Amino acid sequence: MATIGINIATGSLQQKEMIVGIDLGTTNSLVAIIHPGSKEPVVLKEHDGAALVPSIVHFGEANSITVGDGAKQFLITEPHNTIFSVKRLMGKSYNDVKDQSAFFTYRIIDDNTESLVKIQAGSTFYSPVELSSFILKELKHRAEHILKTPVTKAVITVPAYFNDAQRQATRDAGRLAGLDVLRIVNEPTAASLAYGLGISREEVKTVAVYDLGGGTFDISILRISNGIFEVLSTNGDTYLGGDDFDRAIMDHWIKETGLTSEELNSNKSLLQELRLKAEEAKKFLSTSDSYNGIVAGHELSLDKEQFEKLVEPFVTKTIQNCKNALQDAGLAINDIDEVIMVGGSTRVPLVRRSVGKFFGKKVHDSLNPDEVVALGAAVQADILAGNNKDFLLLDITPLSLGIETMGGLMDVMIPRNSKIPSKAARQYTTQKDGQGSIRIAVFQGERDLVKDNRKLAEFNLTGIPGMPAGLPKVEVSFLVNADGILVVKAKELRSGIEQSIEVKPQYGLTDEEVEKMLADSITHAKDDMQTRALVEAQTEAKQIIDTTSQFINKNKTFLTGKEMSETTTAIQQLDDLIEKGNKDEIHTAIEKLNEISRPYAERLMDEAIGKAMKGKNIME
354 binds ligand AMP (CB under 6 A): no
Task: Respond yes or no: is residue 23 known to be catalytic.
Answer: yes
Residue 23 has φ and ψ, to the nearest 5°, of: -100, 105
Give me the DSSP letters along 535-571: HHHHHHHHHHHHHHHHHHHHTGGGS-HHHHHHHHHHH
Minimum CB distance to ligand AMP smaller for 249 or for 574: 249
SS3 content of the chain, % helix, strand, coil (to 5): 45, 25, 30
CA nearest neighbour of 20 among 174, 163, 159, 186: 174
Query: 174, 148 in Cβ contact below 8 A?
Result: no
Minimum CB distance to ligand AMP smaller for 128 or for 213: 213
Query: 438, 491 in Cβ contact below 8 A?
Result: no
Shortest Å distance, C-beta 143 to ligand AMP: 19
Q: Which stretch binds ligand AMP (CB under 6 A): 313-321, 337-345, 395-403, 602-610?
A: 337-345
Q: Round to whole Å and give the CA distance between 382 and 567.
A: 58
- The identity of residue 91, as a single letter, is G
Task: Respond yes or no: is residue 584 known to be catalytic.
Answer: no
Minimum CB distance to ligand AMP smaller for 246 or for 452: 246
* Near ligand AMP in 365-384, by CB under 6 A: 370
Q: Which residue of 21, 242, 415, 445 would you call a contact of ligand AMP, by CB under 6 A?
A: 242
- The identity of residue 138, as a single letter, is E
345 binds ligand AMP (CB under 6 A): yes
Q: Which stretch binds ligand AMP (CB under 6 A): 55-63, 140-148, 289-297, 342-350?
A: 342-350
Q: Which stretch binds ligand AMP (CB under 6 A): 67-75, 237-245, 517-525, 556-564?
A: 237-245
Q: Which residue of 45, 141, 283, 524 would you call a contact of ligand AMP, by CB under 6 A?
A: 283
Q: Which residue of 68, 128, 343, 415 would you call a contact of ligand AMP, by CB under 6 A?
A: 343
Q: Which residue of 27, 168, 531, 594 would you call a contact of ligand AMP, by CB under 6 A?
A: 27
248 binds ligand AMP (CB under 6 A): no
Give me the DSSP letters along 132-151: HHHHHHHHHHHHHHHHTS--
Q: Round to whole Å and give the CA distance between 7 and 142.
A: 18
Residue 543 has φ and ψ, to the nearest 5°, of: -65, -45
Q: How many residues bind ligand AMP (CB under 6 A)?
A: 17
Q: Which residue of 115, 149, 286, 506 would you call a contact of ligand AMP, by CB under 6 A?
A: 286
Q: Which residue of 41, 54, 214, 293 would you call a contact of ligand AMP, by CB under 6 A?
A: 214
Minimum CB distance to ligand AMP smaller for 28 or for 192: 28
Task: Respond yes or no: is residue 87 known to be catalytic.
Answer: yes
Query: In which element (H, E) is residue 175 found?
Result: helix 164-176
Choosing from 87, 92, 277, 282, which is the catalytic residue? 87
Q: Which residue of 58, 118, 282, 587 would you call a contact of ligand AMP, by CB under 6 A?
A: 282
- Residue-level length of the chain: 620
250 binds ligand AMP (CB under 6 A): no
Choosing from 130, 138, 211, 244, which is the catalytic residue? 211
Minimum CB distance to ligand AMP smaller for 208 or for 348: 348
Q: Which residue of 21, 213, 236, 376 would you call a contact of ligand AMP, by CB under 6 A?
A: 213
Q: DSSP code of 450?
A: G
243 binds ligand AMP (CB under 6 A): yes
Give me the DSSP letters along 241-279: SHHHHHHHHHHHHHHHHT--HHHHHH-HHHHHHHHHHHH
Q: DSSP code of 289?
A: S
Give me the DSSP letters along 40-91: SEEE---TT----EE--EEE-GGG-EEETHHHHTHHHH-GGGEE--GGGGTT
Minimum CB distance to ligand AMP smaller for 370 or for 492: 370
Q: Which stretches of the chain bind ligand AMP, using CB under 6 A?
A: 27-28, 213-214, 241-243, 279, 282-283, 286, 343-345, 347-348, 370
Catalytic residues: 23, 87, 187, 211
